[in-house]
Amino acid sequence: MKPPLSVIPADLVAACDYARHASEHLDAASWAYLAGGAADEITLAANAAAWHEIALWPRALADVRGGHTRVTLFGDTLAHPVILAPVATQKLFHPDGEGASVLAAGVLQGAAVVSTQASIALETLAASAQGPLWFQLYWQGSRDTTLALVKRAEAAGYRALILTVDAPVSGARNREQRAGFAVPAHAVQANVGAPVLPTIRDGRSAVFDGFMAVAPRWDDLAWLVVNTRLPLAVKGVLHPDDARRALQAGVAGIVVSNHGGRVLDGAPATATALPGVAAAVAGAVPVLVDGGIRRGTDIVKARALGASAVLVGRPYVHALATAGALGVAHLIRLLREELEIAMALTGCATLDAIDAGALFRV
């Protein structure tokens, strides 16, 4: 296992190159945890494949002088629409963990989402941030415990809450199980302890009477919206009807996500689900998307399908493992440059100019 790099090598020119390098900087168990998906990894593979299957339609002789990639989300104007997704226990991948990722996002004038399960305290990360941070929230089993965590995020200066709703029960992650993975002591969660589940009596189900008994429901979402002063988005929405119900609950945003293919194997790819959710939302709130996004061209496709911005997960963790904050910043810059090139070649000077006309359809 190689130590992190301090200089970016010349052959690192795309996100896929960081994936190749990262495997050399992580032990086998950590790599399996990062790379793996649920069960047979059908959804994991589908996420990337769905973006590949969408074609862009180049436009000639377009005047895109003065173009830019700026986007405004939850009250902050960002230089680009590449958001760092919440990823747990990042000290597993680099000694600086989430601190390096947050630093890189801020320096590149973007935003990062800090996981409930971060290996650095949410207050510590906020105190050193160079740009806006959003806090990803896992429901903590009760309203009181959840609200206490929310109030910590508010007090620390986070700009938005991202409630993850797609993982009350996790699918089997076969790759990490086969590698014998366990989070080491130096990378454990700093913000919360292990969840407390109900006692399962004989004949009861660990799923229905355990995990799901303390999972949030629609009335909890509506309650949370009115009990935080931060804009709240829900992450993990794939069905248009769920998007409509979330709007009725008063959310400020929706993230189309299948948890990177790590929860329900066989769920649709996010690129496939995005148009239906965007149509259901009809511009009422921002729609963001993650899952399989690896190039600037994917970001153009996401905008054309109705997304305001994208979140990337594994790619920036690959960069983190390879070269710490320097790697993450370089990865963000690569994606932004690829986005600018793709926008110019499809005749779009701004993100708002990207619509369904940028996609080639037979």
- In 3D space, the residue among 262, 197, 210 whose CA is nearest the CA of residue 236 turns out to be 262
Q: Are 312 and 319 in contact (CB under 8 A)?
A: no
The SS3 call for residue 320 is helix
Active site residue 259: yes
Question: Rounded distance, CA 166 to CA 45, Å?
Answer: 18
**What is the rounded CA–CA span in Å between residue 249 and residue 323?**
42
- Of 25, 259, 318, 330, which residue is the catalytic one? 259
Cβ atoms of 237 and 290 within 8 Å: the answer is no
- The residue written with tokens 């690569």 in the block is 334
Residues 6 or more apart whose Cβ sits within 8 Å of residue 80: 69, 70, 71, 108, 109, 110, 332, 335, 336, 339
Contacts of 353 (CB under 8 A, 6+ apart): 343, 347
Between strands 71-73 and 76-78, the pairing is antiparallel
Q: What's the rounded Cα separation, in Å, for the pair 215 and 139? A: 7
Report the C-alpha gap between 327 and 325 in whole angstroms.
Answer: 5
- DSSP structural state of residue 92: G
Q: Which residue's entry shows tokens 């320096």?
A: 107
Query: Among 220, 82, 66, 204, which residue's Cα sits nearest to residue 138?
Result: 220
- Other CB atoms closer than 10 Å to residue 204's CB: what's the count? 13
Rg (CA), the chain: 20
Distance CA 118, CA 90 (A): 7
Annotated catalytic residues are 259
